[in-house]
Structure 1
Amino acid sequence: MYFAMFMLVILLVSGAIWLLDIVVLRKKRQASALGEVADPWYVEYSKSFFPVILLVFTVRSFIVEPFKIPSGSMMPTLLAGDYILVNKFTYGLRVPILNKVFYPIGQPQRGDVFVFHYPPDPSIDYIKRVVGLPGDKIEYHDKQLTINGQVVSLDFIKPYQYALNVNDETGDARAVDVTASRLSEQLGAVKHEVLVHDIMNQYAPGSPGDRLMQGETITVPEGQYFAMGDNRDNSSDSRVWGFVSEQYLVGRAFFIWFNFDQWHRIGQSIG
């Protein structure tokens, strides 16, 4: 969000200088000198930067935007270090910065991997999977997801080992090898994989996660979405901080375009 605001400011300033030069400044220079007069440095920079910034700003705001995955909450679908592309128009064209839809196109579908502004702090972008749509009734008990009374099928694939950073008793971070179950899950038309650990998560009293663990059914309000990470027991998601409002939607993740450590992941689609 801050980067988009920075780009918008640079775009407006460079465009204003260029326009001011065309309308006023250039005529004054020509009137006070004989022959051709070189443009001042700030006009030259504005003329050079404005078209480039306009193109980048338009592409990032309305077509596609790159993001980097910072954590393992979406494993095994996405790994920390993946560079992904997000479709910015799938959920409607939005006014930059304000994020208000001015041309509706579509809505998130169950199973989408979507990017959104983190509800407790909208300046941060998060990525999770759409589990619950407006009006859905969600249950999640004993690692089993149920939507509108229908149990979501899970099929065991194989064990999955990875390094997890944890804080020891001194507060220092260290890597610990953990093993999870790699499962295949069907959400709507999307078949994907999730990780489930043999642990019992703890949630703040009264939080959605705590209510789900107590066997309560949660109904997703209108204009809201219930999001979960594919790494089900190592993800801060709607179970922790609640629903994702439609006004916080950014776009749908669809493509891995780079990974410095695992080149074989380049070019993979996200589903």
Structure 2
Amino acid sequence: MKRVESYEVLRKRQKLIWQMASLAVILFLFFELTSSYLLKSYVIRTDGMIPAIAVNSYILVSPSAYGFKLPFSNRINTFHNLPARGDVVLMDNPSATDLNPLAHMVNRFIRFFTLQKSGISKSIDDLNRPLVKRIVAIAGDTIKIEDNVVYIRQAGSIHFLTEHEIVNQIYDTLRTGRPVGWRNEMPFSGYLDEMTLQENEFFVMNDNRIHSNDSRYFGVITSDEIQGKVVFKYWPLTKPFLL
């Protein structure tokens, strides 16, 4: 009798473990589908987008704002809406390390069950952490920077205008003078020679232009590197707003 009871207890325990594992997989797949096609949350860890988005702000990103992608992938496969000047986007980190598909899925699985706090390793997480930037120029634009002021000449135009005269959004930027002796050709000097963006190229910058890691440093990006559009800042609750 005791052996039968032990068998029943073991059987119930195995059934419970199986049910919990099945529920965990279902929740993970639901999370992946939701974050791949609807909305995903992201925490801002740097001051690159101040004053609009402060450090430790929580934002919502729409992965399907520009197109659709496959689950377990950050790449948009079919574009139905091109990114525009002024859009704030979540993009791949240029310093990211390439993970094979299996490692990529395992990393996402681990991050899901640790509430996005850790992955395969902290160093990989730090290198692969996406960046939030603002698009200031698109394909066909010619862009230059003089004394920290961004000038854009649209395709077919002969005149340069400042970014705020062209971009259909209102936002503030932080700028500062350069140190004494800092030459124009040095990074973050506040100067950039004219460059014309080719098809499917975007020039992105931080709103905080002071020593920021953006297209002035790593160059233009393409649509393949855009994970989604930032649409809403919901935390802190005192200053939520649509982007």
Q: TM-score, normalised by structure 2?
A: 0.72
Letter in 2 for 1:133: I
Deviation (angstroms), 1:187:
4.2
**Is 1:191 the counterpart of 2:164 in the alignment?**
no
Deviation (angstroms), 1:81:
1.0
Q: In 2 relative to 1, CA 194–206 (structure 1 residues): closer, same or farther, beyond 3 Å?
A: closer
Letter in 2 for 1:220: L
**Is 1:254 the counterpart of 2:231 in the alignment?**
yes
CA distance in 2, matches of 1:196, 1:62: 36
Counterpart residue number, 2:114: none
2:130 to 121, 125, 129: 125
Q: Any idea what the Cα deviations from partners look like across 1:107-139, whole Å, max 9, x if unmatched?
A: 110000111001232622001100111121101
Letter in 2 for 1:241: F
Whether the 8 Å CA contact 1:119–1:244 is kept in 2: the answer is no
Counterpart residue number, 1:147: 152
Counterpart residue number, 1:219: 196
Letter in 2 for 1:242: G
Letter in 1 for 2:20: Y
Counterpart residue number, 1:236: 213
Whether the 8 Å CA contact 1:204–1:240 is kept in 2: the answer is no
Q: Any idea what the Cα deviations from partners look like across 1:177-205, whole Å, max 9, x if unmatched?
A: xxxxxxxx344211211112133596996
CA distance in 2, matches of 1:50, 1:89: 23
CA distance in 2, matches of 1:205, 1:144: 16
Whether the 8 Å CA contact 2:75–2:226 is kept in 1: the answer is no
Letter in 2 for 1:101: I
What does residue range 61-80 of structure 1 map to in structure 2 within 5 Å? 61-80=36-55
Q: In 2 relative to 1, CA 249–239 (structure 1 residues): closer, same or farther, beyond 3 Å?
A: same
Letter in 1 for 2:167: G
Whether the 8 Å CA contact 2:32–2:71 is kept in 1: the answer is no
Q: Any idea what the Cα deviations from partners look like across 1:142-188, whole Å, max 9, x if unmatched?
A: 122111132216xxxxxxxxxxxxxxxxxxxxxxxxxxxxxxx3442
Q: Any idea what the Cα deviations from partners look like across 1:204-252, whole Å, max 9, x if unmatched?
A: 9687x67x82x62011232221001111123110001111121111111
SS of residue paired to 1:194: coil
Letter in 2 for 1:106: N
Letter in 2 for 1:143: N
CA distance in 2, matches of 1:97, 1:200: 45
CA distance in 2, matches of 1:221, 1:61: 28
Letter in 2 for 1:188: V
Deviation (angstroms), 1:45:
1.6
Q: Any idea what the Cα deviations from partners look like across 1:28-69, whole Å, max 9, x if unmatched?
A: xxxxx9xxx756344212332233222211111111111111
Counterpart residue number, 2:141: 136
Q: In 2 relative to 1, CA 48–133 (structure 1 residues): closer, same or farther, beyond 3 Å?
A: same
Counterpart residue number, 2:108: none
2:91 to 108, 116, 122: 116
Q: How many residue pairs get matched?
A: 198
2:18 to 23, 28, 43: 43
Q: In 2 relative to 1, CA 152–112 (structure 1 residues): closer, same or farther, beyond 3 Å?
A: same
Structure number with larger C-alpha Rg: 1
Runs of 5+ consecutive residues of structure 1 not aligned to the other structure: 1-32, 154-184
Whether the 8 Å CA contact 1:255–1:269 is kept in 2: the answer is yes
Letter in 2 for 1:131: V
Q: TM-score, normalised by structure 1?
A: 0.65
Letter in 2 for 1:64: L
